[in-house]
């Protein structure tokens, strides 16, 4: 079977319930989610040893859920009965974040992306996730969407921040603090 269809050669693509231009807000939103999924796969591939078994499994689940997000956004006419993203998914992310945060050292300053290569990729995941969230919010201002998708993406970016710090901790690499600012986080 050929993977090319030629149906998009004039700048249009199929969505569930119709066709739209490839620069449609809907395509921008779930295309950015797809981009994020690629970076999540890269991060996951960098977690080869036993120190990361737990989060490798979490990231695989997240990759499936990112496809769910894209699927929910692909509907031209919204059908709440078919939504895949639920509030329970964001709540589960909160539990994972809490567990990661318990492992991380206290934070006093803003953290710059970096430290280990793995943490750097996880910070890329965080920033692309924030862009996906912004694109999804923009889409939601012009059409009905599953609002749980926005909440999920919001929580997911927090997860990537916490996980980047955990990756540095587990690898024995210090976070890179923004030293030009005051200590802004206190217990």
Contact between residue 156 and residue 130 where contact means Cβ atoms under 8 Å apart:
no
Task: With both helix axes pointing from N to C terminus, report the angle between 87-103 and 53-73 in degrees, rounded to the nearest 10.
Answer: 150
pLDDT confidence band for 109 (50 / 70 / 90): confident
Q: At a CB cut-off of 8 Å and minimum separation 6, what does 35 contact?
A: 128, 132
Give the whole-angstrom CA distance, residue 161 versus residue 96.
Answer: 12
* Tens digits of residue pLDDT in 8-51: 667 666 666 676 656 778 889 999 999 999 999 999 999 989 99
Helices (H), 50-86: 53-73
Which residue is it, tokens 């280990």? Answer: 116
Answer whether 0.75 is exceeded by the pTM: yes
Structure-token match 């910070």, residue found: 123
Query: Is 92 a residue whose pLDDT tops 90?
Result: yes
Residues 6+ apart with CB under 8 A from 169: 103, 104, 105
Which has more pLDDT, 2 or 17? 2
């Amino acid at each position: 079977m050929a993977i090319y269809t030629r149906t998009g050669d004039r700048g249009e693509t199929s969505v569930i319930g119709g066709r739209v231009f490839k620069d449609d807000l809907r395509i921008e939103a779930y295309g950015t989610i797809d981009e994020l999924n690629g970076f999540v796969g890269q991060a996951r591939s960098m977690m080869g040893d036993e120190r990361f078994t737990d989060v490798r499994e979490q990231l695989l689940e997240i990759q499936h859920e990112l496809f769910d997000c894209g699927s929910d956004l692909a509907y031209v006419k919204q059908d709440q009965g078919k939504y895949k993203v639920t509030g329970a998914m964001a709540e589960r992310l909160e539990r994972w974040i809490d567990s990661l945060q318990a492992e991380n050292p206290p934070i006093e300053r803003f953290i710059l992306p970096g430290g280990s290569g793995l943490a750097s990729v996880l910070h890329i995941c965080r920033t692309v996730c924030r862009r996906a969230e912004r694109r999804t919010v923009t889409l939601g201002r012009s059409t009905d969407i599953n609002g749980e998708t926005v909440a999920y993406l919001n929580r997911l970016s927090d997860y990537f921040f916490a996980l980047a710090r955990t990756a540095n901790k587990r690898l024995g690499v210090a976070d890179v603090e923004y030293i030009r600012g005051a200590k802004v986080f206190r217990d």
